[in-house]
Structures are given as structure tokens and as C-alpha cells.
Amino acid sequence: MTEVPDAGHHTPDANAFVALLETISNDALADEWIGLYAPDATVEWIVDGSVARYHGIDEIGPAVEELTTLWRALHLRVRTTVACSDATTVALTYTGGFDGKVNQRGAEIWTFRDQRVVRHQMFAYLNVLPEDSFLGRLRVAAMSPRVAFTVLTQRTISS
């Protein structure tokens, strides 16, 4: 079991916890990551629009192993920042990428009960592009033509 840094009164120390997560991610430490979860934890990870949900350590463990194997193979490096926290929740943002790139961004929400993670939500974007990039606009048009057309129409009207 990995100890969740405590700021006193069973409140997670957000800065220490997020620093621990950065180390876990950059060093691809599966056992330390799995050790944060309560046996009945639930995770929901959304990566570029694809959602995965796991309940209980028996489902979460193999998913963590798969991700850390990928991270190790592709040399993931991230920098994490506390977005906000309270007595039961830590939210963070991160930037980073594989093989020295810095094209990924994301946010995570970690919810605690008795110093164990009971809910983990991750929203990850693997290849963030500038709004004005051709490929970025093409991606939006392919994934959501109605949104792309509406934005284009509004911009045309506004100019």
C-alpha cells in the first residue's frame, strides 16, 4: 500500500500527493500507483474521447500495469500542478508527452476516503494542437462536423 501524503486530520497533502503522482508517472511505477487505491475504488479514464471504467482493485490493477508498460516503452515525462484541493479531493493538471515531446495535456480528479483513493477521473489529450493549426481544425471537422461548421459560420459572420 502506498501512503497518501497527509496534511493532518486525514486531509491529503495536495502538493506532496501531486509530486508523488508525477514520480509514479515519470518512473512508470505500477505497484506504487495501484497501492493508492482502496479495494472498492472506481476509475474513469477518458483518453482522446475514449472512456475506460474499472471498479475494484482486481480490474484497476491490470489497467494500471498496461498503462505503465506503455509509459515506460514510450518514455513518458509529465509535469503536474495542483489545480485545487479540499479535505477529500485533489485535482491536478499536467503537461508532457512521449519521447521528449510536450504535446499532451490533461486533468485528473482524485477522491479520498480514509487516506485511500476511492475515485479517480482522468481526462487525457495525447496530441494537443493550436486552434489555428490546419490539422487541429481538420481533426475537429472529422470528429464533430456540426461544431466545426458552426464555429466557421460564426467567425465568418463576425469578420
The number of angstroms, rounded, from the C-alpha of 7 to the middle of its chain's C-alpha atoms is 23
Does 159 lie in the same domain as 96? no
DSSP state letter for 34: H
Does 101 lie in the same domain as 74? yes
Reported confidence tier of residue 150, pLDDT bands at 50, 70, 90: confident
Enclosing H/E stretch for 125: strand 116-125
- pLDDT computed for residue 3 by the predictor: 65
Residue 148, pLDDT above cutoff 90: no
- Domain assignment of residue 144, yes or no: yes
For residues 93 and 105, is the Cβ–Cβ distance under 8 A?
yes
Predicted TM-score (pTM) of the model is: 0.86
- pLDDT computed for residue 128 by the predictor: 94
- pLDDT computed for residue 149 by the predictor: 80
Residue 6, pLDDT above cutoff 70: no
Reported confidence tier of residue 10, pLDDT bands at 50, 70, 90: low
- pLDDT computed for residue 5 by the predictor: 63
- pLDDT computed for residue 2 by the predictor: 62
Residue 38, pLDDT above cutoff 80: yes
Does 122 lie in the same domain as 46? yes
- The tally of domains found in the chain comes to 2
- Domain assignment of residue 5, yes or no: no
Out of 52-56, 123-127, 133-137, pick the least confident: 133-137
Does 68 lie in the same domain as 48? yes
Q: What is the pLDDT averaged over residues 9-25?
A: 88
Which pLDDT tens digit goes with each residue over 66-94? 999 999 999 999 999 999 999 999 999 99
Domain that residue 91 falls in: 14-128
Spatial CA neighbour of 126 closest among 159, 90, 95, 158: 95
Average pLDDT of the chain is 92
Expressed in percent and rounded to 5, the helix, strand and coil fractions of the chain are 40, 35, 25
- DSSP count for the chain of H helices, then E strands: 5, 6
